[in-house]
Amino acid sequence: MTELAVQLWCVAALLAAAVVAVPLSRWPGLSTAIIYSATLMACAIATASALTWLLLHADAAAERTLPIGLPWLGAHLRLDALAAFFLVVVNLGGALASLYALGYGRHERAPHRVLPFYPAFLAGMNLVVLAADAFSYLLSWEFMSLASWALVMAHHRDGGNRRAGYVYLVMASFGTLALLLAFGLLAGTAGDYDFASIRIAPHSPYVATLVLILMLLGAGSKAGLVPLHVWLPLAHPAAPSHVSALMSGVMTKVAIYGFIRVVFDLLGQPDWSTSGIVLALGGITAALGILYALMEKDLKRLLAYSTIENVGIVFVSLGLALAFQANDDKVPAALAFTAALFHIFNHSLFKSLLFFGAGAVLSATGERDMDRLGGLIHRMPFTSVVFLVGCVAISALPPFNGFVSEWLIFQAVLQSPQLPQWGLKILVPAVGGLMALAAALAAACFVKAYGVTFLGRPRGAATIAAKEVDRFSLAAMAILAALCLLAGVLPGVVMDALAPIATNILGSRLAPQSGLAWLSIVPISGNHSSYNGLLVAMFIALSALLLFVAIRMFSSGAVRRGPAWGCGFTDPAPLAQYSADGFAQPIRRVFGTLIFRARDHVTMPPPGDTAPARLTIELHDQIWERIYAPLAGGIMIASARLDRLQLLTIRGYLSLVFVTLVTLLLVLAIWT
């Protein structure tokens, strides 16, 4: 049985689990164990099969056509190196989310609204990656979107969740429309919708540019590119935590896969100017995403905004790959492309880990507001350790995986002076500066997230009563933390596994890394840069050990206890600690006026009044207020006026049909 057949059988098993979950949902405990165990097994098998293909058969491609879909087209499915990599991302995330859900799902308030759609969501993401024609791709894309929308609406009695589901549905429909137009342009007048025909067909520069813009709108809206990101901080926190991990860590990567498949594989050689669009959008997305995250005190919304930042980082690297590819710089293009894929894999690991940790905190305390947490390191020690690993990894600190991929992206940025176009010579360093800013702000953001949530003293009764979560959730988080460390210590293994993808897509690859001494990586040449994750990890561990031994040997052993320094405040109340808003205040002072129109309002009681002073912070989402709110108002006005069409006479309807038909014929005549 070939790997493609294994993948299809796994998808069939997921769809069967979705069907079986409907009657089983009458027994919540039994159905939770059966459905999540089935999805765990199916995703684990699919992960092993895809990884086998990537490591052993990456130079080949397996194809199959099923007699479903459009009568003259069928459903084309294809497994190659790029698809195999993204199948690893999808199914590894799905397997660990299912393992986590075996414990977390026991606390689900409405399992009958989650269990049927969860395996369907996983099946939809797999089918998007396997699809090899426009119709199958769009059908799978819509299936994935609708299943994830149902999961967002699982707790529909919450008004905020209903609003999140509505915004998500509108943005998903807009993205699908953009993808439909992009594939229509790619198919052209010949109407060849299978990817093999599109791949060999010639595309004019104007069509290629328009398709790239449409893919940025379609795939970018699902991935979370600014300004198409507005649904993401609403929908991701609304879903159950294991679904949030899949949406943030996996579904956004499926959207990026669509962009890579079309722009790098189907369109052919790009023009250098198109890379500038991708670079600029990626840089703006990275900087704004992490600034939004810093302003948040809702833990899951903070993680959702952080996803926007990481999506921006990936698109910066893809824009660099397009720029180098357009100038036929093979090795820098392969470096940027490999770095983008590496960061996609890394983000799927540490963002899933962080969402699992947030879900554990939510299960133990019932709170997502960081200002109501604190002191959890004493009550949830294991969760606090693995969450710290996720924070260090996403902050791009060695020896974890986030550092390696971002370091590779910066190495690609440093190759930009050899680009001949002056526009890129100016744009790439500017985008590199935005990435450096985003990296620094990300570290500050996750110092805030970890410190306010896990350190200090408890701020509420729910935190005082918290205890560690179940063993399934802990096991899933432990595996992800270990993978974050392994990918950071052994990056050469990952880079070599990704090399065949760069060869298939770009026609070039980086030099083999696994055979270098001490497991070092040298992406370009030893004269330019090198990194050794193993030695860095050993140095950090040895330094910590020596410091511990020195303190134990040379300290006096005397213990003196006293009150903690309270920054001049003698009130021992937990609320006197740093809050999430207080931590972000210096950054809000610098960036808030321009980006958020931030205002601090202080209400002071009159003399003699013992009431406390009040500080309220006013923030505005200018993208929502200046783009989407006026657009929504205009649509409401237009729809009210179009309601008149329902009151036309028969003559009026016939005239409308006639005018529409003539217009379409004119468009077709001009097109041909």
CB of 261 within 8 A of CB of 194?
no
Residue 663 is encoded by which pair of tokens? 């217009």
Q: Supply the DSSP symbol for 490.
A: -
The token duo for 498 is 């990704």
**DSSP code of residue 627:** I
pLDDT of residue 70: 75
Structure tokens at 340: 């983008």
pLDDT tens per residue across span 209-265: 999 999 999 999 999 999 999 999 999 888 899 999 999 999 999 999 999 999 999
pLDDT at residue 631, as a whole number: 82
Would you say the pTM of this structure is higher than 0.85? yes
Dig out the tokens for 148 from the structure.
Answer: 């994830």
| CA distance linking residue 373 with residue 337, whole number of Å | 40
Could you tell me the two tokens for 433? 């500066």
Where do the domains of the chain lie? 287-545, 578-618, 625-671
What's residue 566's pLDDT?
A: 62
SS3 content of the chain, % helix, strand, coil (to 5): 75, 5, 25
Residue 553: predicted pLDDT = 84
pLDDT of 567 reads: 62
Give the separation between CA 495 and CA 269, rounded to whole angstroms. Answer: 24
Task: Read off the tokens for 201.
Answer: 């067909």
β-pairing, 614-618 vs 599-603, is: antiparallel
Alpha helix stretches (DSSP H) within 153-231:
159-187, 195-200, 205-223
pLDDT on residue 526:
65
Please report the pLDDT score of residue 564 as a whole number. 65
Please enumerate in sequence order all residues whose Cβ is within 8 A of that of 606, keeping only pairs 6 or more positions apart, or say none: none
Q: Which residues of the chain, if any, have pLDDT below 50?
A: none
What pLDDT is stored for residue 527 in this prediction?
Answer: 67
Write the CA distances from 415 to 229, 264, 409, 412, 512, integer angstroms.
Answer: 30, 20, 10, 5, 20
